[in-house]
Structure 1
């Protein structure tokens, strides 16, 4: 399990909804939480090996 902080360049409603939909479509993402902080989303990612987690970060 890895927690990933995601910071978006565009925080308008449409962009947030698009990111949320895309994050939930990734099989590695177990949870996605919108957060009021230095970043916009906290993702909880899980995979059997570390390369899939790296792919999650790169997306």
Structure 2
């Protein structure tokens, strides 16, 4: 499995408890399914950012 590419990395103690990442070559749904098997909950897709997408016409 390729290493995840994090959108932003901050030094401790300012490191966020929420992180955005992409694992190239693996669909987001597969990542969510694999992590769920270990009890790790993540959100996939762009549903959380729809207001920003509309605002900036992305």
TM superposition score category, shorter chain reference: 0.3 to 0.5
Higher RCO structure (Cα 8 Å, ≥6 apart): 1
- Which structure dedicates a bigger proportion of its chain to helix? 1
- Which structure dedicates a bigger proportion of its chain to strand? 1
In the superposition, the TM-score normalised over structure 2's length comes to: 0.34
Higher gyration radius (CA): 2
In the superposition, the TM-score normalised over structure 1's length comes to: 0.33
